[in-house]
């Protein structure tokens, strides 16, 4: 029986839940999922970007409660060091933490203009300038990582950075974002990961429960 519980919300809509869930999977942690209903007020507010929530994701492991995606990933790196959620090289670790922090605290225009919705498709979606600046910055981060660490993941092997940027990959897919060949290949790689295939399949089976995010763009 698992001694770890991860609380998440919608797999279709919740980027933060995915950022907490993926490191657990990458670390090989044996855990069970506890899903907060979409109609929970705090969960719904988080999904609609109306307020932050400490409900999801939240990991309970060996009597310890850890919330916030970066805290979860750092904790898992300590208890599952062989999983390599952070690179072994100190300079690479510093860079990994830096780009994870940038994703964690930034790109607000992208988040609001291109909300996560794995079941939706918006071909030819027009991206406004504020969100495009965020997209351009993310593409720069990716290209710099590939130049330094040679792929197929941002730091060669899978790391917490890939978990932090995976929801962005789904946004690029949903909103038909134009990318160069290097970044497009990375998106294809991330979506083909077994963990992402599992998450995506579960998201497709969820009912559409947030009318605000099912609007016609």
Residues 46 and 70 occupy one common structural domain: yes
Task: List the Cα angle 91/185/80 in 5-degree steps.
Answer: 45
Residue 113 contacts residue 83 (beta carbons within 8 Å): no
pLDDT in tens, the chain (217 residues): 568 999 998 999 999 999 999 999 999 999 999 998 777 666 655 655 545 556 789 999 999 999 999 999 999 999 999 999 999 999 999 999 999 999 999 999 999 999 999 999 999 999 999 999 999 999 999 999 999 999 999 999 999 999 999 999 999 999 999 999 999 999 999 999 999 999 999 999 988 665 555 544 3
Residue 206 lies in a domain: no
Residues 100 and 193 occupy one common structural domain: yes
pLDDT of residue 38: 72
Helix (H) or strand (E) holding 33: strand 32-35
Q: Is 156 left (phi over 0), alpha (psi -120 to 50) or beta?
A: left
Residue 212 lies in a domain: no
Residues 122 and 58 occupy one common structural domain: no
Strand bridging mode 4-8 / 32-35: parallel
Q: What is the CATH number of the domain that holds 78?
A: 3.40.30.10
Q: What is the CATH number of the domain that holds 108?
A: 1.20.1050.10
pLDDT of residue 37: 77
Strand order in the sheet with 64-67: 32-35, 4-8, 58-61, 64-67
Domain interval for residue 117: 90-200
Residue 213 lies in a domain: no
| Number of structural domains the chain divides into | 2
Residues 46 and 108 occupy one common structural domain: no
Residues 101 and 180 occupy one common structural domain: yes
DSSP SS3 for 40 = coil
pLDDT of residue 52: 57
Alpha-carbon span 21 to 204, nearest angstrom: 17
Alpha-carbon span 137 to 86, nearest angstrom: 22
């Amino acid at each position: 029986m698992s001694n770890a519980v991860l609380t998440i919300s919608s797999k279709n809509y919740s980027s933060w839940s995915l950022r907490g869930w993926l490191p657990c999977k990458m670390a090989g942690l044996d855990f069970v999922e506890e899903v907060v209903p979409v109609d929970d007020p705090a969960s719904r507010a988080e999904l609609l970007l109306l307020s932050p929530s400490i409900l999801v994701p939240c990991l309970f492991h060996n009597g310890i409660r850890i919330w916030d995606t970066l805290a979860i990933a750092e904790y898992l790196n300590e208890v599952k060091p062989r999983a390599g959620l952070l690179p072994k090289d100190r300079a690479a670790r510093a860079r990994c933490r830096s780009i994870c922090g940038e994703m964690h605290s930034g790109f607000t225009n992208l988040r609001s203009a291109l909300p996560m919705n794995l079941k939706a498709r918006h071909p030819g979606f027009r991206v406004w300038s504020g969100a495009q600046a965020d997209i351009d910055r993310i593409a720069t981060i990716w290209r710099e990582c590939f130049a330094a660490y040679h792929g197929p993941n941002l730091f060669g092997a899978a790391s917490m950075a890939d978990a932090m940027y995976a929801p962005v990959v789904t946004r690029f897919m949903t909103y038909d974002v134009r990318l160069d060949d290097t970044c497009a290949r990375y998106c294809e790689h991330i979506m083909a990961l077994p963990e992402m295939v599992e998450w995506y399949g579960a998201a497709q089976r969820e009912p559409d429960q947030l009318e605000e995010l099912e609007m016609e763009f």
